[in-house]
Amino acid sequence: MNILDLGCGTGWGSIDIASKLEGTGKVIGLDLSEKMIEQAEQKLAKISCDNVEFKVGSGSSLDYDSYFNYVLSTNAFHHFEQKEEIFSKVWKSLKNNGVFIIQDICDDYLLMKMVDSMGKIGEKAHVGSTTSRELRNLFISIDFVDIEIKKVKLNWFWGIMIGKGVKRNNLRRIA
């Protein structure tokens, strides 16, 4: 099983996933920030885990062909520019029946819209969050199937969405 952690940050999720694979697969953690990847590699150097690798890069530069069983992106989607291009590259990188899962803040909630607006002003890497409908439309536009979008209110403040889509039959519509 091969898994891509897209926007892996400091690598804690990639390392945790790799430890659960028990030698049956590989995890690649990908992040735009060299500093985040350096921190991930420092964590990795302190443990015994040889099935995880960290790389500096973006989703729009993915160059894998039917390689991953899963692509995961946790708390990073609001940093992605060219979201449709990234979805397309992820689709290409997935094996048949591969799954793309995204968890991120959700603009369906008023307070999250405010967080998004503040992020655009104060955080250099913040591109913009989306609504659950926009996320669903991205999955549809790239021909993912079995799409599921769930909105979750974590507390009075935080609202997130979790989206999932499956690549099926290696077929895509030609627009």
What pLDDT digit, counting tens, does each position of 105-162 carry?
A: 888 888 888 887 787 787 777 778 899 999 999 999 999 999 999 999 988 888 999 9
Strands in 159-166's sheet, in edge-to-edge order, are: 52-56, 26-31, 2-6, 68-74, 94-105, 159-166, 145-153
Side chain identity at residue 145, one-letter code: V
CA distances from 102 to 66, 138, 160, 165 (A): 19, 12, 10, 9
Confidence of residue 175 (pLDDT cuts 50, 70, 90): very low
The domains of the chain, with CATH numbers, are 2-166 (3.40.50.150)
pTM summary value: 0.92
- Position of tokens 């989306």? 130
Whole-number average pLDDT of the chain: 91
**What's the pLDDT at 143?**
94
For 82-102, the DSSP string reads SHHHHHHHHHHHEEEEEEEEE
